[in-house]
Amino acid sequence: MDREKLIVTPLMLGFQELKTEDDLIEMRSAVKRHAADMGFSALNQTKIMTAASELGRNVIEHGHGGSVQIEHIRELDRDGIRLTFTDDGPGIADARLALSDGYTSKKGMGLGLSGSKRLMDEFELISPPGTTVMVTKWM
Ligand SMILES: Nc1ncnc2c1ncn2[C@@H]1O[C@H](COP(=O)(O)OP(=O)(O)OP(=O)(O)O)[C@@H](O)[C@H]1O
Ligand SMILES: [Mg+2]
Protein backbone atom coordinates (compact mmCIF):
# COMPACT_ATOMS: atom_id res chain seq x y z
CA MET A 1 0.00 0.00 0.00
CA ASP A 2 1.14 3.57 -0.64
CA ARG A 3 2.39 5.56 2.29
CA GLU A 4 -0.38 7.28 4.13
CA LYS A 5 -0.92 10.78 2.81
CA LEU A 6 -2.39 12.15 6.00
CA ILE A 7 -1.14 15.69 6.46
CA VAL A 8 -1.28 17.02 9.98
CA THR A 9 -1.74 20.76 10.57
CA PRO A 10 0.34 22.78 8.11
CA LEU A 11 2.15 25.43 10.09
CA MET A 12 2.42 28.82 8.40
CA LEU A 13 6.00 30.06 8.65
CA GLY A 14 5.83 33.09 6.43
CA PHE A 15 4.06 35.02 3.70
CA GLN A 16 5.69 37.48 1.37
CA GLU A 17 4.56 39.69 -1.46
CA LEU A 18 6.77 39.42 -4.52
CA LYS A 19 6.98 42.56 -6.63
CA THR A 20 10.47 43.94 -6.41
CA GLU A 21 14.06 42.73 -6.39
CA ASP A 22 14.16 43.57 -2.68
CA ASP A 23 11.16 41.29 -2.03
CA LEU A 24 13.06 38.51 -3.76
CA ILE A 25 16.14 39.04 -1.61
CA GLU A 26 14.06 39.11 1.56
CA MET A 27 12.15 35.99 0.53
CA ARG A 28 15.35 34.07 -0.23
CA SER A 29 16.78 34.71 3.21
CA ALA A 30 13.47 33.94 4.93
CA VAL A 31 13.23 30.60 3.12
CA LYS A 32 16.83 29.74 4.00
CA ARG A 33 16.29 30.67 7.65
CA HIS A 34 13.11 28.59 7.95
CA ALA A 35 14.75 25.61 6.27
CA ALA A 36 17.72 25.90 8.62
CA ASP A 37 15.43 26.20 11.67
CA MET A 38 13.63 23.04 10.58
CA GLY A 39 16.94 21.19 10.46
CA PHE A 40 17.56 20.80 6.73
CA SER A 41 21.18 20.14 5.77
CA ALA A 42 23.23 22.99 4.33
CA LEU A 43 23.00 21.34 0.90
CA ASN A 44 19.23 21.06 1.09
CA GLN A 45 18.91 24.64 2.39
CA THR A 46 20.75 25.75 -0.73
CA LYS A 47 18.59 23.61 -3.02
CA ILE A 48 15.39 24.95 -1.46
CA MET A 49 16.62 28.53 -1.63
CA THR A 50 17.69 28.15 -5.26
CA ALA A 51 14.30 26.76 -6.25
CA ALA A 52 12.58 29.56 -4.30
CA SER A 53 14.71 32.13 -6.03
CA GLU A 54 13.83 30.83 -9.53
CA LEU A 55 10.12 30.50 -8.81
CA GLY A 56 10.01 33.89 -7.13
CA ARG A 57 11.73 35.46 -10.10
CA ASN A 58 9.17 33.89 -12.42
CA VAL A 59 6.36 35.42 -10.36
CA ILE A 60 7.92 38.85 -10.85
CA GLU A 61 9.13 38.50 -14.45
CA HIS A 62 6.31 36.49 -16.00
CA GLY A 63 3.43 36.81 -13.55
CA HIS A 64 3.65 40.58 -12.98
CA GLY A 65 4.03 40.09 -9.23
CA GLY A 66 2.31 37.90 -6.66
CA SER A 67 3.20 36.19 -3.42
CA VAL A 68 4.71 33.18 -1.72
CA GLN A 69 3.53 31.25 1.29
CA ILE A 70 6.04 29.25 3.33
CA GLU A 71 4.74 26.33 5.38
CA HIS A 72 6.02 23.52 7.56
CA ILE A 73 3.93 20.48 6.66
CA ARG A 74 3.79 17.19 8.49
CA GLU A 75 2.72 13.70 7.57
CA LEU A 76 2.60 10.84 10.03
CA ASP A 77 6.27 10.04 9.70
CA ARG A 78 7.92 12.98 7.96
CA ASP A 79 8.18 16.75 7.93
CA GLY A 80 8.62 19.01 4.96
CA ILE A 81 8.80 22.60 3.82
CA ARG A 82 6.21 23.67 1.26
CA LEU A 83 6.44 26.83 -0.81
CA THR A 84 3.41 28.06 -2.73
CA PHE A 85 4.00 30.76 -5.34
CA THR A 86 0.91 32.48 -6.74
CA ASP A 87 0.29 35.23 -9.25
CA ASP A 88 -2.60 36.54 -11.33
CA GLY A 89 -0.53 36.97 -14.47
CA PRO A 90 -1.15 35.50 -17.94
CA GLY A 91 -0.68 31.90 -16.77
CA ILE A 92 1.06 29.04 -18.53
CA ALA A 93 -0.90 27.61 -21.44
CA ASP A 94 1.41 24.70 -22.23
CA ALA A 95 2.84 23.26 -19.03
CA ARG A 96 4.84 20.53 -20.74
CA LEU A 97 6.58 23.07 -22.93
CA ALA A 98 7.23 25.49 -20.05
CA LEU A 99 8.75 22.67 -18.02
CA SER A 100 11.12 21.49 -20.72
CA ASP A 101 14.80 22.35 -20.25
CA GLY A 102 15.77 25.40 -22.23
CA TYR A 103 12.30 26.68 -23.10
CA THR A 104 11.90 30.40 -22.49
CA SER A 105 9.33 32.85 -23.82
CA LYS A 106 11.65 35.74 -23.05
CA LYS A 107 15.42 35.77 -22.93
CA GLY A 108 16.05 33.52 -19.97
CA MET A 109 17.93 30.25 -19.85
CA GLY A 110 14.65 28.39 -19.61
CA LEU A 111 15.86 26.42 -16.61
CA GLY A 112 13.87 27.98 -13.77
CA LEU A 113 10.88 25.64 -13.73
CA SER A 114 12.68 22.45 -14.75
CA GLY A 115 15.56 23.15 -12.36
CA SER A 116 13.24 23.86 -9.42
CA LYS A 117 11.39 20.64 -10.12
CA ARG A 118 14.66 18.71 -9.91
CA LEU A 119 15.81 20.48 -6.75
CA MET A 120 12.61 19.75 -4.82
CA ASP A 121 10.80 16.45 -4.05
CA GLU A 122 7.34 17.45 -5.18
CA PHE A 123 6.22 19.92 -7.81
CA GLU A 124 2.69 20.96 -8.68
CA LEU A 125 1.70 23.51 -11.31
CA ILE A 126 -1.84 24.88 -11.47
CA SER A 127 -2.50 27.29 -14.36
CA PRO A 128 -4.28 29.14 -15.94
CA PRO A 129 -5.93 31.37 -14.73
CA GLY A 130 -2.88 32.93 -13.12
CA THR A 131 -0.11 30.61 -12.01
CA THR A 132 0.34 28.63 -8.82
CA VAL A 133 3.46 26.56 -8.30
CA MET A 134 3.64 24.46 -5.15
CA VAL A 135 6.89 22.72 -4.25
CA THR A 136 7.79 20.55 -1.27
CA LYS A 137 11.05 19.24 0.14
CA TRP A 138 10.87 16.46 2.72
CA MET A 139 13.35 16.17 5.55
N1 LIG B 1 4.58 32.68 -13.12
C2 LIG B 1 4.55 32.55 -14.46
N3 LIG B 1 3.57 33.15 -15.18
C4 LIG B 1 3.53 33.03 -16.53
N5 LIG B 1 4.41 32.32 -17.25
C6 LIG B 1 5.41 31.70 -16.58
C7 LIG B 1 5.53 31.77 -15.16
N8 LIG B 1 6.62 31.03 -14.80
C9 LIG B 1 7.12 30.54 -15.93
N10 LIG B 1 6.41 30.93 -17.02
C11 LIG B 1 6.64 30.56 -18.43
O12 LIG B 1 7.44 29.40 -18.46
C13 LIG B 1 8.64 29.66 -19.18
C14 LIG B 1 9.77 28.85 -18.58
O15 LIG B 1 10.07 29.32 -17.27
P16 LIG B 1 11.54 29.12 -16.72
O17 LIG B 1 11.62 29.71 -15.37
O18 LIG B 1 11.87 27.67 -16.86
O19 LIG B 1 12.43 29.91 -17.76
P20 LIG B 1 12.65 31.49 -17.90
O21 LIG B 1 12.05 32.20 -16.72
O22 LIG B 1 12.17 31.91 -19.23
O23 LIG B 1 14.23 31.59 -17.86
P24 LIG B 1 15.17 31.41 -16.55
O25 LIG B 1 14.28 31.11 -15.39
O26 LIG B 1 16.08 30.27 -16.86
O27 LIG B 1 15.86 32.72 -16.43
C28 LIG B 1 8.85 31.16 -19.10
O29 LIG B 1 9.64 31.64 -20.16
C30 LIG B 1 7.40 31.66 -19.18
O31 LIG B 1 6.94 31.66 -20.50
MG1 LIG C 1 12.48 31.63 -14.79
Specify whether the CB–CB gap between 46 and 7 falls below 8 A: no
Count the domains in the chain.
Answer: 1
pLDDT along the chain (139 residues), means of 10: 67 97 97 98 98 98 98 91 98 94 92 96 96 98
Degrees to nearest 5, angle at CA 20 with 19 and 24: 95
CATH (domain of 32): 3.30.565.10
Tell me what pLDDT residue 96 has. Answer: 93
Around ligand 1, the residues with Cβ closer than 6 Å are: 54, 58-59, 62-63, 87, 89-92, 98, 103-106, 108-114, 131
- Domain range for 82 is 7-138
Tell me what pLDDT residue 7 has. Answer: 64
Tell me what pLDDT residue 4 has. Answer: 60
Residue 1, in any domain of the structure:
no
Residue 2, in any domain of the structure:
no
